[in-house]
Every structure is written in structure tokens, then in C-alpha cells.
A and B are shown apart, each in its own frame.
Chain A
Amino acid sequence: MTLPASLVGRTYPTHVYPVSRAKVVEFVVALGGPAPVESAEPLVAPPTFAMIPVMRGFESLVADLGIELARVVHTDRSFEHSRAIRSDDVLHTTASIDSHRDLRGSALLGLSCAIHDDIGELVTRAHSGLLIRPVEHSMENDE
């Protein structure tokens, strides 16, 4: 995977993601939990729900770099939460590239995302490590 050397410091346009009650319910159920009970109160999303705006924030990055999704593997991920995401939040996510190095022909990218709410308060900071495998990689030359 040949990526330009000047990637570090690149910041992508802020992505706006309106959370919905249905999405929070779908996420909870996908993890095997019971559907939350009906309530007038906003639902509190699970701690890794932040993954959704983070991935949306990456879409422009993946398109910009011409990366094929199937060649991307997450190596690490961390979240620092100021508070949990709620189903009535509108989230503003800005992704940037913190580091870039070559690892035996694969590209290793360190990305950070800052997620703010509609009034500009920080909700979550996320760090992600992505390994982008080269196109010629196969099981035969894995060892």
C-alpha cells in the first residue's frame, strides 16, 4: 500500500451524525441485549456506540486515500468519554491522521477523532489504529 508521505496532520471535514432512538435500540440488540423499554427519556447508548460517528468520520478519509475496505484491519481502538452518547444527540466528528508508518509493506495509520455535541461540548475522543494490507498479500506469502 503506497500512501503519500505527507498524510500526517491531514484533517477531514467535520461529519454531522444525528443519533436516533432506533439506531441505539438496533445497536443494543445487536450486542445481544434486550430492546430498551419505551420511555419519553432519551436512551443512553452503550460505550462503543461512538464507533458509528467515528466510522462515518473515516468515510471521507478512506475515499480520499483510495483504500479498499476489505484490506483494512483495525489494530487498536480507544475511547475517552466525557459522557455517554444519547439518542437525541447530534454529533459532530472530525477525523485526523496522527501517524503513518510502513509495516512490512502494509500501511499503519494512527487516526484520532473528536466528537462534539450540538452545543460544542466534547463528548468523546477516539483513537484508532488501522492496518492497510497490500493488494498482493495472500495466505501463501503470509509466513
Chain B
Amino acid sequence: MSDDPRPVPGVDIGDVLVERTVPVTRERLVRYAGASGDFNPIHYSDHVASTVGLPGVIAHGMLTMALVGDALLSWVDSADDVLELGARFSKPVLVPDDDAGVELTVTARVRELGDDGTVGVDLTASSAGQRVLTGARARLRAPRGERVRDDVVE
């Protein structure tokens, strides 16, 4: 065992691994409600949302996190390589009832390189010019370079 941190080939602190903008529409909220089983009405009913003091229908915090997680999958080899993922939902993502919805922009930037070959990343998610997550972080296993991927049939 060496005391030196194992370098992760091709990855430096500060690198942006992922940057992606996705639309969040009412349709996506309904699909996510069905898929996740989270049928809290504040994610589809304006009437209920206003009754509990919200300015309108908001996205599931977990949908935002799921979209961040999905973006991370574009960098790692497999979902097995997402070792940790967490965030605080600091601002609601308001989703208007129109065709365009609202845009969510996700970034993942390298914070630290672990001596076990893992990569710590800081995550951001922004909507309507506001950060909607705070303290959002993940720990990932770096892609294994030249290795033939499991999903590639030789």
C-alpha cells in the first residue's frame, strides 16, 4: 500500500464531468409520480399546492435528484459506480402547466480524488436562475478506461 493518493487517469480536481439541461414538465411529474409511487398531490394539483402554502405545483425533490443521478450515469461505467449521492432540497422547482415546463441545469464538478480510486463530486442543479439543491455531492468510481465494458458484446 502506498501513502500517495492513487491518481485517477484523466481526472483532475475542478473538472466538470457532466453538464446537462433537461426540461421538467407536468407530464414528467406525472410519469415520475407513477414510476416512484410518490403520489403527493403537491406534485400535480395546483389546488392542493396552494392550500398548503406553496406558490404552485412543484417537482418532487427526488425527481430533481433522480435527474442529477441520471446525468452522472453518462460519466460512470454503470450504476454500480455511483457509491454515494445526497442533497438538500433548498428551493422548490416550480413547474408551470404549459408545454415547455421549466429547465433544470445539472453540473458535476470534481471535488476530490480518493486514494481508493473514487472521485468525489460537487453537484449543482439550477432552475429559473436559482440553485435548487445545496450540499449536493456524490462519490463515484471512475470509468475503467480501456477495459471492455460489460454491456458490450464481443
Contact = CB atoms under 8 A, between A and B. Distances in A.
A81 B48 CA distance: 34
A123 to B, nearest CB: 11
Interface residues of B, number: 41
Interface in B59-100: 60-62, 65-67, 69-70, 72-73, 78-80, 82-89
Interface string A80-91: 110110000000
Interface in A12-58: 23, 26-27, 29-33, 44-48, 51-52, 55-56
B87 A47 contact: no
B69 to A, nearest CB: 4
Nearest to A71: B52
Interface residues of A, number: 39
Given A30-B31, A142-B53, A48 B69 contact: yes
Interface of A: 23, 26-27, 29-33, 44-48, 51-52, 55-56, 69-81, 83-84, 127, 129, 133, 137-139, 142
29 contacts: A26-B34, A27-B35, A30-B35, A31-B66, A32-B28, A33-B70, A45-B79, A46-B73, A47-B69, A47-B72, A47-B85, A48-B69, A51-B36, A51-B38, A69-B39, A71-B52, A73-B42, A74-B61, A76-B87, A77-B61, A77-B86, A78-B86, A79-B85, A81-B80, A81-B82, A83-B80, A84-B78, A84-B80, A139-B55
